[in-house]
Amino acid sequence: MANRKVIYEACFEDYLRSAGVPYVAVDEAKKALFAGVRLKSFDFVVYSAGGDNLLVDVKGRRFPYGGGRRWENWTPREDLESLARWEEVFGSGFAGLLAFCYHLAEPEAAEAFEVVHAFRGEYYGLVGVYRTAYADAARTRSRSWDTVSVGTRTFRSLIRPIRAFF
């Protein structure tokens, strides 16, 4: 397992390893140029036995988040745009996936997830959504930060337990 500094990415990688899912971790230090454009890297290439291989960008959030809010799912618009370009680079048979790794702030929060992974003494709920579905439903959250998000009800209808993608 790579020595990842971001706890959410390390947790996701630990889940993949423990579930026996084949993957390649992407070196975050290396940026790529494609067609003269610098692209933000994603986190993992995950090989799926039942469908498209996945270009995974891990998003870490707390659950619930301050004030009891649940299902925070914002992302920088640049992440969606870069992931779409990566899908073009990899071509047919690859799909972008946003993997949301929710740090469960309270034990009862685990009830909201089908996949809960213990990592370094904490628990994380793992769900995913294809980039295309997320992008189609996303709305501007902050113009100044150039972020987007999906409304809670819609987001819950789009996500699936992370194991459903493998």
Q: What are the extents of the domains in the chain?
A: 7-165
Query: pLDDT tier at 1 (50, 70, 90 boundaries)?
Result: very low
pLDDT of residue 162: 98
- pLDDT tens, residue by residue, 80-139: 999 999 999 999 999 999 999 999 999 899 999 999 999 999 999 999 999 999 999 999
**Nearest-angstrom CA–CA distance, 83 and 53:** 14
pLDDT at residue 2 is higher than 80: no
pLDDT of residue 32: 57
Helix residue ranges, H only, 4-151: 7-19, 77-90, 131-137
pLDDT at residue 165 is higher than 70: yes
**Nearest-angstrom CA–CA distance, 45 and 72:** 24
pLDDT of residue 5: 79
- For 100, the token pair is 């949301």
pLDDT of residue 33: 53
Averaged pLDDT for residues 143-163: 97
Higher pLDDT, 64 or 116: 116
pLDDT at residue 17 is higher than 70: yes
- Start-to-end CA span in the chain (Å): 19
Residue with tokens 């809670």: 152
pLDDT at residue 11 is higher than 70: yes
CATH, domain range 7-165: 3.40.1350.10
Residue with tokens 């789009």: 158
Largest CA distance in the chain: 48
pLDDT of residue 50: 82
**Nearest-angstrom CA–CA distance, 131 and 87:** 10
- pLDDT tens, residue by residue, 30-58: 555 555 667 888 999 999 888 899 999 99
